[in-house]
Chain A
Amino acid sequence: MTRLGMSLAGSYLGYQLQNLFLLGDEGGQRKKRVMQKSAAKMRQELEALKGPLMKFGQALSMQSHLVPEEFLQELSSLQMRAPAMHPSLMRIQFKNSLGTYPEEIFGSFEEEPFAAASLGQVHRAVTKKGQPIAVKIQYPNIRKAVTSDLNLMKTLLLPARTTRHVSAAFIKELEGRILEEIDYQHEAENIAFFQKAMKLPYVELPRVYPAYSSGQVLTMSFVEGEHFTEWLKTKPSQELRDLVGGRLFELFYYQVCRMDSLHADPHLGNYLFRHDGSLGLVDFGCVKYFDAQFLDLVRKTYFPEAEAAESKFKALYEHQGIPYSEKAREIFRELNKLYRIVYPTKAEEQKRLTDFGDPWFLKELTRLSQKILSNRLILPELFFYIRAEGGLYNTLHQLKARVPASDIVRRCLLN
């Protein structure tokens, strides 16, 4: 019985399967639109994984041709939640990490969390100097549970690796991203990097309080704003939607063009919206730092001269030491179609607004993205890039924003 208990506690998958008993009572699960019965079943199966392992499942299903285009939008919006901690457990976790209880170091601390995180939960608090803060606390045993499940996943995927449905490099890349999320100190470093490197005046980033942070507790300044659904209820004007959409678009390309990195978790839960059109950016657990040369080659594909377009893309594969085959050429063709929809190359069309609210547009984007991401020969680095980009476009679609995409990308490239 002890061994059964140990395996039950040691498996993050085990936690999530148990959620079948719990989430209905706790009422914590988000209801999503279901496009087809089979899509709902797929989503439920992946959702049962939750946490970082769900990212693995999302990414793998995109890679292994299991996902029809209707599912891609559902998959990209799946959000991951750790088990909820009641105050008794939360206080023990806090004390084990920082050696003291929250009420001993903060002016005030709310024992009920105000938000869930993929590996824990977030509490509102105020420092003794009166500064509002957010304290993220990790669920116990997460590191061991995720590591054990990653090993299990890798073993289960051996046949797929043998048949080359999934590459070893791809799995290694995914694993690296997931393991980084477990360490909140790594997230603190990511925030510090963004604080230093991101100079967009309309984006607020949190500040870390290192004295109240550790590998399992992250204390940050409180970033105000509403989540997307609440903000939409205030019925923002088309003008405001366009402004916010343009800023989200610029935020993405600013990172790619100036920071050689990406805030890589592309879902709406990581943005906070304000009525003046400014944005808050939260959750830096998953930041992708690209090879500068690789990203330079990616940028060269944005506005290539027609005849040089493919050679720019081919250079990406040569840089990674991977042969440029017919499969890779397929990726180029689809990517080219995708980008020409989003931002045209012709100078006279530079100011043209891309209407992300157009349903045809999203369907076409989804179809192309799915085709690209499910190609076995997609580079792992490119996978994260396109996934993040797809998440952005999905967000802009929900925003129904009209964005001068070409203009923004050109400005980012020039500066």
Chain B
Amino acid sequence: MNASTNDTVSTEVRDYVAGVRAALSDLTVEDVEEFTTGMEADLAERLAEQGEGTLRDRLGDPDAYAAELRSAAGLPPRVPVAPARTSAAEQLSTWWTGVSRSVLGQVPWLRDLRPVWWAVRGFALAAAPALVLGVPIIWLGLLGAMVSIALGLMARHGRLSGGWVGPVRVMGNITAVLLLPVALVMVVDAPDPYANDPTWAEPQYSSGAGLTYDGEPVANVYAYDESGRRIDKVRLLDQNGRPLKVSEDALTSADDMGDVDLMRDSRTGELDIARDVFPLRWNGRTGWERMYDREWEPPMAITPLPGPVPSVEASPTPSPSATPQATQTSPGAGATATPTPTPTTSVSR
């Protein structure tokens, strides 16, 4: 006989009887009692025999069982209940039962794959927390699969009881089916473990290093004085006394011919160019040439600033034939005033 003594009627049986009772709830109390007295014992005995599946597997759902019971007993089929009594969850449960029964009816061997479904549904259901938490699905998925298999085994051996088991199972199955594509996408699109590894990061522009203007790196500076003349080999200091310096990156990116890179010191790798003496020059350049891919060329002179122009003595290069009469009104003509040769008029003979 039954091995268990205290829990002689397993919870699965009680669960089933409760289901049948519910399906017969429109009958009188005596009728229901007539049917269900002894049902527990009979079902328990049925279950104790040949072990191939749960009571539901062997006998069908309690609803179907109750319907067969009524029809054999000559009682009318269940009066359709008022809509208010069938909650959405119950209707969903009924629909799912119908669908699964028809599917299993056509492909009966699917029943044997039930444990596989347990694992799959557990994995799929883990997609929801994985999405919310933003973690990879693989570990939650495995955990979910194990929990689901455990629950399935528990249900099969009758350790799960209570009215909540049925609806939760149905909702879980439906949710798992809906989440399955999501879970598959998450498995395929698993985040790249190297995404944030700095070793693999591409070198970035050191933004802000070196001289910039309006956020853009400056590669060269050309200076002109108030007369509009070029100033060569100029050094500029900021308000803190720091020499304005062009960054190596700005310089190398302005040079698309690779000349700048030739100026690297083979030992230290540093550019052997004075980056704070403007205009920058290297490799035989004067500094006043056009920068490589640009159309703009530094002019010989630019517009002088308004106002009186200082005397020529201020010019750094002394003029060999500077006449004392170099007046202040003469507009600066670029470089030192070249001595104008006294025109010799030759009378033609």
A, B in one complex: no
